């Protein structure tokens, strides 16, 4: 079953609880929460206190995308705040295995991701121990950018690797996804779709429902 993970980065931050509720209404099961530190990426977004507040208003699976340096310093706080999935960048830490182990020890799911310029092979040492692999189809830092189709090659590699090695990780895509390119993502082996502007521009419940229809085709 394919999954939609709407990115609240594109929502109105004055109404985050409603933003979560609207997409749940449209059939989304996950909520993508982008965390930026102004160092790893040139933007700031939101932190663990926001996750904690939002947790009281939503039963969605909180899919937290950490775009921060040294994530090992912050994962405990994000997990205590109510994150269900912690995804970190392979470029952001010297201790990826520690991060993976600590997230699992806390009973949560862990994801690994990479910037568009980072070769997919850099993920191979971790693929047998993660729950999610996230393919970035924009340079992380901002919503509303154009989809980088060439990055789907990484998804095809990850799907083949997963099948050949009997692994079960979800393959997620993030950045510039819309109703025109989502089928190409699915065809590349992706089963979790992050969508920010294409969901939150206009009627979020309806847009999420439109995505869900394609994901169920």
* Distance from C-alpha of 81 to C-alpha of 97, rounded to nearest angstrom: 22
How many H-runs (helices) and E-runs (strands) does the chain carry?
8, 8
Residues that bind ligand DX5 (CB under 6 A): 7, 9-10, 32, 34, 65, 138, 140-145, 174-177, 194-198
69 counts as catalytic:
no
By C-beta, is 77 or 178 nearer to ligand DX5?
178
* Distance from C-alpha of 25 to C-alpha of 59, rounded to nearest angstrom: 12
By C-beta, is 118 or 145 nearer to ligand DX5?
145
Which residues have CB under 8 Å from 130's CB, separation 6+?
Answer: 100, 110, 111, 112, 169
Q: Which does 204 bind (CB under 5 to 8 A by kind): ligand DX5, Zn ion, none?
A: none
| Catalytic residue from among 63, 131, 174, 210 | 174
H-helix or E-strand containing 199? helix 197-200
CB of 40 to Zn ion, least distance (A): 12
Q: Which does 196 bind (CB under 5 to 8 A by kind): Zn ion, ligand DX5, none?
A: ligand DX5
CB of 196 to Zn ion, least distance (A): 8
* Distance from C-alpha of 16 to C-alpha of 107, rounded to nearest angstrom: 26
34 counts as catalytic:
yes
CB 62 within 8 A of CB 28: no
CB of 3 to Zn ion, least distance (A): 14
CB 159 within 8 A of CB 171: yes
Nearest residue by C-beta to Zn ion?
Answer: 65
Q: Which does 175 bind (CB under 5 to 8 A by kind): Zn ion, ligand DX5, none?
A: ligand DX5
Q: Which does 162 bind (CB under 5 to 8 A by kind): ligand DX5, Zn ion, none?
A: none
Structure-token pair, residue 130: 């993660």
Which sequence positions are flagged as catalytic?
A: 34, 174
């Amino acid at each position: 079953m394919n999954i939609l993970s709407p990115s609240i980065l594109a929502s109105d931050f004055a109404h985050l609880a409603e933003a979560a509720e609207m997409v749940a209404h449209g059939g989304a099961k996950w909520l993508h929460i982008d965390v930026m530190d102004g160092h790893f990426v040139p933007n700031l977004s939101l932190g663990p206190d926001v996750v904690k507040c939002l947790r009281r208003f939503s039963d969605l699976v909180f899919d937290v995308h950490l775009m921060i340096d040294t994530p090992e310093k912050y994962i405990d706080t994000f997990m205590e705040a109510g994150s269900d999935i912690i995804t970190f960048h392979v470029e952001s830490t010297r201790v990826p295995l520690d991060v993976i182990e600590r997230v699992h020890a806390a009973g949560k799911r862990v994801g690994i991701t990479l910037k568009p310029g980072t070769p997919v092979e850099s993920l191979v040492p971790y693929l047998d121990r993660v729950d999610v692999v996230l393919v970035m189809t924009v340079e992380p830092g901002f919503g509303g950018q154009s989809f980088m189709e060439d990055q789907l090659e990484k998804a095809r590699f990850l799907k083949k690797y997963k099948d050949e090695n009997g692994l079960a990780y979800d393959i997620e895509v993030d950045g510039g996804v819309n109703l025109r390119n989502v089928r190409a993502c699915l065809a590349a082996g992706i089963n979790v779709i992050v969508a920010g502007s294409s969901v939150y521009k206009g009627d979020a419940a309806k847009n999420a429902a439109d995505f869900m229809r394609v994901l169920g085709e």
